[in-house]
Structure 1
Amino acid sequence: MTDRPSSAVDADQAPPQELKRTLTNRHIQLISIGGAIGTGLFMGSGKTISLAGPSILLVYAIIGTILFFVMRALGELLLSNLEYNSFSDFAADLLGPWAGFFTGWTYWFCWVVTGMADVVAITNYIHFWMPGLPSIIPVLGSIGLLLGLNIIAVRMFGELEFWFALIKIVAIVALVVVGIGMLGFGFTATDGTPASVAYLWERGVFPKGISGFLAGFQIAVFAFVGIELVGTAAAEAKDPETVLPKAINAIPIRIIMFYVCALAIIMSITPWWNINPDVSPFVNLFSMLGLPAAASIINFVVLTSAASSANGGIFSTSRMLYGLADKGDAPRAFGRLSRVAIPANGLLFSCACLLLGSIACLLSSSAMKAFTLATTISSLLFIFIWSIILCSYLAYRHKHPDRHARSIYRMPMGVVMSVVCLIGFAAIIVMLWLQPDTRQALLITPGWFVLLGISYLVIRLRRRSAA
């Protein structure tokens, strides 16, 4: 038996130069569902209902409709050129290098901040079962576990998201089925309050007025954070021309099922004015059935939901750093792939930042205040990312009408709906400004863009001097 030439051996052992398409349709569909169901639905829906009453259904429908068109724009752009690995790539190509730089680093920062909130939430959920456990243990354990599984292979990320999303789906479907049964059999609570759909309009659809309706957008926006994750994962999906449109087209029915139907049933079983904003309405509904394990079951569901969000953040931040490094907008080390086509350096750096940020949140004087601030900043930065996707789409329609004409997946009413959605985002920002607890985040967030602008100028000046 003759030895193979050393060059052939080296070629086999050399790290790959591109991301591999190993995520299947099963993975992409569940990643899409998981991204559309945020932790805010389980834990924040009680507060949104108390703020807006039945009009919260309209709030979720409005945000869901806007984001469906954002996703359609994202889908057409990614499929117009399969060399695009993320929205940072097409932003740089269509809007200019500055857009790629701002989008890539902002999306990275979005998920680090969101991940911090998720890890703090995971720690609190674990304390539900083990109140005496030092907080550093669940922080290190959750980040270490997700890092370890993500660094093995991209399929591990897909499998994690598949099962995390499946748990959320089962929980919501169970709530809908149980709720319909309670309505059908004339369920009456222990205080004598009967279940009735009439609660949805009995005191008016806008019982708290327009101010209450607008206040509902504050938490509702955060519930949709991560919906664009399927676009990041598409770069590593098999047959993206088939699986990406399928995942995006299913978003409207999922929003109706997971948000509108679920919350409508909750408000039909318990009058919205009796819902405790500090308690998950999911826990409350199952508790009404006399299930002693209801709190533990929902705690487990919300724990997996937070873990799903953190898992998606770890995945997406490493891919963004990979794309930024490829353009010279991040250290070259982030652009190197491991032997299993994983941007391991980016994973390690993102997890290190996530660890430090999570510890800082837990050590702050008010962990809940830090959590609220982190989630609001994250929501604002995601609105920026979603807006960049729409602006990139408008530039694409202007610069590449030929690509649009050949597109296999066109955004309906593309230009008109892009403008409408951008106006919608502007209106949401105004609504956030009107709320005292979100105004602070609006004042802090511009500092991030100032920092990015200075960094961008420094990098460009260095390149010119080196040329």
Structure 2
Amino acid sequence: MEENKLARKLSSRHVQMIALGGAIGTGLFLGSGNAIHQAGPILLVLYLVAGIFCFFMMRAIGELVLSDTSKSSFIEFVRAYLGDRFEFVIGWTYWLCWESIAMADLTASGIYIKFWFPHIPQWLTALIIVFILLAFNLLSVELFGELESWFSSIKVFAIIALIITGIILLVCHTKVAGHAVSVSNLVDYGGFMPKGLKGALSAFPMVIFAFTGIEMVGLTSGETANPQRDLPRAINTLLFRIALFYVGAMFVLMCIYPWDKVTTSASPFVQVFSALGVKVAAGVINFVVLTAALSACNSALFSTSRTLFVLSHSKFAPRKMGEVNNRSVPVTSLVFSSLTLLIIVVLNFILPAKIFEIISDISTVCFIFVWLTLIWCHYKYRRQNPEGTSFKMPLYPISNFVTMAFFIGILGLLLLQKEMAFALIFACGWVVLMFIAYGIYRRKV
């Protein structure tokens, strides 16, 4: 299998835009409506707090990846520092993470398409998107990087346009839908924390869902032309991106439009521009949020196929999944992951109204399991290599323990929410099933 290697064809621009794309997704464009409804303006603080801990998590992953750039993925570091069992469990769980997030975004895409074509069923949209993105990803990793760069550029431009629009409306003291555009909107409708501490805490799962996928930049190490230069640049700008794209966008949005008027049936970005009376702008924003969903699906196909590629080389997935074509694309892994996504076509046919929340909840819990494992893996690495790398985890080892405590606390919050119970049970059941599957596999070999 030595000839089956990934090619380092992702440029610095590709890596930067993939990092941006990972930080801006459906969780912001669609999921933020639920988060605003649950928590109110305190959501600004929640995004900032979660962003800080996600930054520490990314620094841990960054140091791990840069300690040995010959490895194709951070999944291989799990094997090195936690053993075969955890590589098997975390590898397949990470595959599930991205499969579920793609399913959530395919569902979101069906919702967005209804803005223009209300009679098109959600399942049909999902079916068409799966095959289009599969075709693009089969061609080359460069095309994936280029497609993701364009997707990310559109998202970045849209958020910056929203922020600039909001600032202009604030300065001009404009009225939108009978309400003055003002910073006071953050406190005039029940206060800054109108739903109390319980409401704020209940919004954390959706806040965390908004950040799922940011770790994907660490998965590009095996196909990045200059990982030692490009990965630190992408990771170090994470806090700035969160402050601008999440805190900045939500601040402007809730200044323009009272938080208690935001509904969960559509993207709050679309609702704001509709309230401004600019129907064309609302359509443009709907195109942007559709782009965000397509970006997440595109990233999912990349992540799941590369995860299966690594697992195959560790003999934890069928041998065919570790083979690449003459363009260094793992075709079998891509096709398998794409066909698995067709499950969401059926689910959208059966439960079109509820499936987004169910799948996004499952994705959130699974990602937290993976993040916790990677942070612990980094701790084990530094215990064995006290000198670390030039890209050291800040405040190690305190930052490791505090970050893990934060994410464990999030899992604890999920236990208190009835609507999250299924996701937590499913994710825990999946992890247990993977440990059992590993045991069966080891006995056979």
TM-score, length basis structure 2: 0.96
Equivalent in the alignment of 1:42: 29
1:201 aligns with 2:177: no
Match for 1:246 among 233, 240, 247? 233
Equivalent in the alignment of 2:401: 419
Equivalent in the alignment of 2:96: 109
Equivalent in the alignment of 2:430: 448
Equivalent in the alignment of 1:23: 10
RMSD between aligned residues: 1.6
**Separation (CA, whole Å) in 1 of partners of 2:68 and 2:156:** 32
**Separation (CA, whole Å) in 2 of partners of 1:396 and 1:70:** 14
**Separation (CA, whole Å) in 2 of partners of 1:280 and 1:143:** 22
Q: How many corresponding residue pairs?
A: 444
**What's the offset of the Cα at 1:381?**
0.3
Aligned CA distance change for structure 1 residues 359 and 423 (closer, same or farther; 3 Å): same
**Separation (CA, whole Å) in 1 of partners of 2:2 and 2:379:** 37
Match for 1:385 among 354, 370, 382? 370
Equivalent in the alignment of 2:110: 123
- Paired residues of 2:122 and 2:352 also in contact (CA < 8 A): no
**Separation (CA, whole Å) in 2 of partners of 1:21 and 1:360:** 37
- Superposed, which structure 2 residues align to 1:25-104 within 5 Å? 25-104=12-91
**What's the offset of the Cα at 1:17?**
2.7
SS of the residue 1:128 aligns to = coil
Aligned CA distance change for structure 1 residues 251 and 152 (closer, same or farther; 3 Å): same
- Superposed, which structure 2 residues align to 1:276-295 within 5 Å? 276-295=263-282
Equivalent in the alignment of 1:401: 386
SS of the residue 1:409 aligns to = coil
1:410 aligns with 2:392: yes
- Paired residues of 2:312 and 2:319 also in contact (CA < 8 A): yes
Identity %: 41
**Separation (CA, whole Å) in 2 of partners of 1:58 and 1:23:** 35
Q: Which letter maps to 1:421?
A: T
**What's the offset of the Cα at 1:62?**
1.1
**Separation (CA, whole Å) in 1 of partners of 2:262 and 2:113:** 25
**What's the offset of the Cα at 1:413?**
0.7
1:361 aligns with 2:347: yes
- Superposed, which structure 2 residues align to 1:202-241 within 5 Å? 202=188, 203-241=190-228
- Paired residues of 2:26 and 2:108 also in contact (CA < 8 A): no
**What's the offset of the Cα at 1:15?**
9.7
**Separation (CA, whole Å) in 2 of partners of 1:201 and 1:290:** 25
Deviating more after overlay: 196-205 vs 263-272: 196-205
Equivalent in the alignment of 2:315: 328
Match for 1:373 among 336, 350, 358? 358
Deviating more after overlay: 249-258 vs 77-86: 77-86
SS of the residue 2:279 aligns to = coil
Deviating more after overlay: 367-376 vs 33-42: 367-376
Match for 2:251 among 251, 264, 278? 264
